[in-house]
């Protein structure tokens, strides 16, 4: 199994492109010492990769040891076959101005069943061939739905798994999948430690959806514990993932320079074990509404 030299935190560039400071943010991301960068072929309609590539060119190349990780996406007509995977990689490499990628993940395959994805001549076989050709270092599955993500893990062909919003301070839905991935020798990227924002910015949704009432009550109890312990909730949410032995890297969404500037302090924060014990003592979190 191939492994990726992950940094504890990875800078998520899914929203790169939707703000006026996008160029400056791209420059900061490709030279950041805080961690590698995560993007995808279809983030911001390809603008995320393009902005990162332009920044890499302005910097005269990626700094030594700094990595950009990306993902294969279906085309705009929903096609996600072997040819599309190869074209997706060509597009990614062209935009980024790189010859190869350390990790390329099979991203959000909502339009295909697991069997269709894994069929001979299918998209996953194409990714594995690209790994054998040396143009990809490692192959991953990056997906949300817990049941299907677990099925992809069980195939045993992926080097890494990325799940999101389902292993956080207030949600453990992905825990069994991560445990299984570990048993199989895979690496784990845990994305969206703030549940898409709410645990850091107080937004009303979790995992990009409205919260079910009982889950919302649970989040309120955790917020209240953070106040009791005088703990910053964003720091606690980040450190929940950073301290987990199941997680190789935590992918945090960085939509602006302001959020990048704030990350160092969150990483340096100390969150007492007693706080995490008190959260565990609340019992298993209710379902968050994500499948």
DSSP string covering 142-175, please? E---HHHHHHHHHTS--SEEEEESSSBTTB-TTH
- Indicate the residue among 111 and 274 with the shorter CB distance to ligand NAP: 111
Task: Please report how close the Cβ of residue 240 comes to ligand NAP at its closest, in angstroms.
Answer: 12
Task: Please report how close the Cβ of residue 72 comes to ligand NAP at its closest, in angstroms.
Answer: 11
- Indicate the residue among 13 and 130 with the shorter CB distance to ligand NAP: 13
| Residue nearest ligand NAP (C-beta atom) | 253
Task: Please report how close the Cβ of residue 201 comes to ligand NAP at its closest, in angstroms.
Answer: 4
- Indicate the residue among 137 and 190 with the shorter CB distance to ligand NAP: 190
What would the two tokens of residue 202 be?
């107080």
Pure H helices in the chain? 22-31, 47-58, 82-96, 114-118, 123-133, 146-154, 175-183, 198-201, 213-228, 233-242, 257-268, 273-281
Whole-number Å distance between alpha carbons of 233 and 282? 16
Residues that bind ligand NAP in the complex, under the rule CB under 6 A: 12-15, 38, 107-108, 142-144, 162, 164, 191-197, 200-201, 234, 251-253, 255-256, 259, 262, 266
Whole-number Å distance between alpha carbons of 56 and 136? 19
- Indicate the residue among 38 and 248 with the shorter CB distance to ligand NAP: 38
> Tell me, what DSSP letter sits at residue 195?
G
- Indicate the residue among 20 and 60 with the shorter CB distance to ligand NAP: 20
Task: Please report how close the Cβ of residue 84 comes to ligand NAP at its closest, in angstroms.
Answer: 17
- Cα–Cα separations (whole angstroms), residue 174 to 92, 126, 200: 28, 27, 20
Whole-number Å distance between alpha carbons of 265 and 81? 43
- Indicate the residue among 98 and 200 with the shorter CB distance to ligand NAP: 200
- Indicate the residue among 114 and 191 with the shorter CB distance to ligand NAP: 191
Task: Please report how close the Cβ of residue 288 comes to ligand NAP at its closest, in angstroms.
Answer: 12
Task: Please report how close the Cβ of residue 259 comes to ligand NAP at its closest, in angstroms.
Answer: 4
Task: Please report how close the Cβ of residue 120 comes to ligand NAP at its closest, in angstroms.
Answer: 25
Sign of CA dihedral 171, 174, 179, 185: negative
């Amino acid at each position: 199994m191939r492994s990726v030299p992950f940094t504890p935190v990875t800078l998520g560039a899914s929203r790169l492109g939707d703000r006026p400071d996008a160029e400056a943010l791209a420059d900061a991301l490709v030279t950041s010492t805080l961690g590698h960068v995560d993007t995808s072929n279809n983030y911001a309609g390809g603008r995320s990769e393009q902005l990162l590539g332009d920044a890499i060119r302005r910097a005269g190349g990626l700094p030594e040891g700094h990595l950009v990780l990306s993902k294969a996406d279906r085309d705009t007509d929903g096609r996600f076959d072997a040819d599309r995977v190869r074209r997706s990689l060509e597009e990614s490499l062209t935009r980024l101005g790189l010859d190869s990628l350390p990790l390329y993940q099979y991203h959000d395959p909502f339009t295909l069943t697991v069997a269709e994805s894994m069929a001979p001549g299918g998209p996953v076989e194409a990714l594995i061939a690209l790994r054998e050709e040396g143009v990809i270092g490692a192959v991953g599955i990056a997906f949300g739905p817990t049941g299907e993500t677990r099925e992809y893990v069980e195939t045993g062909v992926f080097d890494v798994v990325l799940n999101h919003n389902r292993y956080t301070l207030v949600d453990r839905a992905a825990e069994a999948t991560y445990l299984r991935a570990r048993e199989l020798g895979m690496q784990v990227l845990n994305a969206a430690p703030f549940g898409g924002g709410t645990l850091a910015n107080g937004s009303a949704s979790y995992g990009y959806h409205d919260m079910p009432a009982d889950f919302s009550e649970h989040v309120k109890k955790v917020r209240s514990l953070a106040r009791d312990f005088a703990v910053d909730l964003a720091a606690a949410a980040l450190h929940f993932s950073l301290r987990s032995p199941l997680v190789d890297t935590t992918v945090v969404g960085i939509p602006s320079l302001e959020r990048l500037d704030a990350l160092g302090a969150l990483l340096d924060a100390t969150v007492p074990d007693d706080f995490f014990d008190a959260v565990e003592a609340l019992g298993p979190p209710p379902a968050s509404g994500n499948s």
